[in-house]
Amino acid sequence: MLDLISGGNVSLPGGTLAIRVPGPFDLSVLITGEDGKVSGDGDFVFYNQPSAPGARLRADTVTVDVGRLRAGASRITVVVSAADPAVPLTRLPAPMLSVTGSAGRGVARFTPPRPTSQESVLLLAEIYRRRGGWKLRALGQGYADGLAGLARDFGIEVAEDSPAEGGFTALVNAERSRSGAPPVTSDARLAAAARAHCTGMAAEGRLGAGGSGVSGGSLYQRVTAQGYAYLTVAEQLVSGPRTEADFLAYCLTDTRMARTVRDPALSEVGVAHAPAPDGDIFWTAVWARPLTPHGLAAVASEVVALTNAERGAAGLRPLSGDPRLTTAAQAHSDEMVARGFYSHTSPDGRQPWDRAAAAGCGHRGIGENIACGQRSAAEVVRGWMDSPGHRANILKPDFTHIGIGLRGGGEMGTYWTQLFGMSG
């Protein structure tokens, strides 16, 4: 493999080339014609647009097949910037570019001079057409105006979106479209909660959603502290990926996290990443559906329907909804989140029958199921049915009425209350 210096060049073999820059960098390429300008936005290959005819970006490598480039293309400029926009290039190790031919044989390697404090982007190399063949030239040229400024100089108008928000949402919605799910929108409150949480994980060097996993409170407490009330929530906590595209690709390899990406019940998302002291990158994505009175009533009705289906299968009569039991159940879920406890007994000593009486219930018998952490009506009812004590309440023949409460927040994410009553 030939080691190049700035300005050095080498002839390239035919076939596909692999251009790799490992480390905490975002790799991009710009495809231009003889005038040094792109023909359109599609000629900019980067984390939010990882492919173009003849070029494809994946993780730290871009593959180039010059025979498949769009008509009129005569130059490909290879660019790197910091994967974390908050970290200046001067604080990162020097990027090393390597070029490998289609047979896996090394062609060239180049390590540029260290950038100055003003430079946020490095033009590492260019692949260019010369007398019917293609050559690689090492550049090592710094650029102070960021990727957006560089793209504009090459003829592209790039909006200054936050890559961790706008870019991720666009990638996600492309995936959701393929699965038939409606698009999600980016929410600044969810993004702020994600940013605080992944910063905490990076500082401690460990993944965790609950309060015991990362100091400073649970991810769900951070969400509600931002003023976001949710009906349902999901999260993805990952370390390692360097770009939004890599993070999403990793999530799609995991069954649970892929289900979250494609879940039609989730409508808003916030994502952030933070560097750890050892150079690792920690990611947090928070997905949610905001709380609305209609949504709350719909989930509660689903819990009642699933409960009655279990009773029906056991030959029992269905339970009727009781608004007073619902009021008491909702108040208990609200209190468990607000006061940070999980128990049938309130901090002031009140029991389920005390709360039911305070709501005006006249039932001669009261029973209660509680649960925390489940994300859907089906999940919570299945959990109760798998627990002998909770199952006994659901299948108790003497119960005639029911009320449901749920609240998002606290250490475990969602707190559920199922309150039963017997007719007098």
**DSSP string for residues in 84-119:** STTS-GGGSPPP-EEEE-TTS-EEEEE-PPPPPTT-
Give the pLDDT score at 157: 59
Do 385 and 391 touch, CB atoms closer than 8 A?
A: yes
At 18 the three-state DSSP class reads strand
**Distance between CA 167 and CA 161 in Å, rounded?**
7
pTM over 0.95: no
pLDDT, average across residues 70-92? 83
Q: Average pLDDT of the chain? A: 89
Give the pLDDT score at 388: 96
* pLDDT tens for each residue of 246-259: 999 999 999 999 99
Q: Is the pLDDT of residue 183 over 80?
A: yes
**Distance between CA 290 and CA 304 in Å, rounded?**
21
For residue 163, name the pLDDT band (cuts at 50, 70, 90): very low
For residue 164, name the pLDDT band (cuts at 50, 70, 90): very low
pLDDT, average across residues 34-42? 85
pLDDT, average across residues 337-359? 96
**Distance between CA 359 and CA 142 in Å, rounded?**
69
Q: Is the pLDDT of residue 350 over 50?
A: yes
Q: Is the pLDDT of residue 159 over 50?
A: no
**Distance between CA 332 and CA 327 in Å, rounded?**
9
**Distance between CA 134 and CA 129 in Å, rounded?**
4
**Distance between CA 41 and CA 58 in Å, rounded?**
19
The strands making up 25-32's β-sheet, listed across from edge to edge, are 9-11, 133-143, 121-130, 75-82, 25-32, 44-45
Give the pLDDT score at 39: 86
Which range among 19-33, 158-172, 222-236, 288-302 shows the weakest confidence by mean pLDDT?
158-172
User: Which of 55, 49, 50, 80 lies closest to 67 in space, CA to CA?
Assistant: 55
**Sign (positive or negative) of CA dihedral 301, 306, 310, 312:** positive
**Distance between CA 239 and CA 70 in Å, rounded?**
36
Give the pLDDT score at 86: 60
pLDDT, average across residues 285-301? 95
Q: Express as a percent the part of the chain with pLDDT over 90.
A: 62
Number of helical (H) and strand (E) elements in the chain, helices listed first: 11, 21
Provide, for the chain, the percentages of residues in helix, strand and coil under a 3-state DSSP scheme, each rounded to the nearest 5: 30, 30, 40
* pLDDT tens for each residue of 307-316: 999 999 999 9
Which range among 88-97, 204-213, 320-329 shows the weakest confidence by mean pLDDT?
204-213
Q: Is the pLDDT of residue 245 over 80?
A: yes
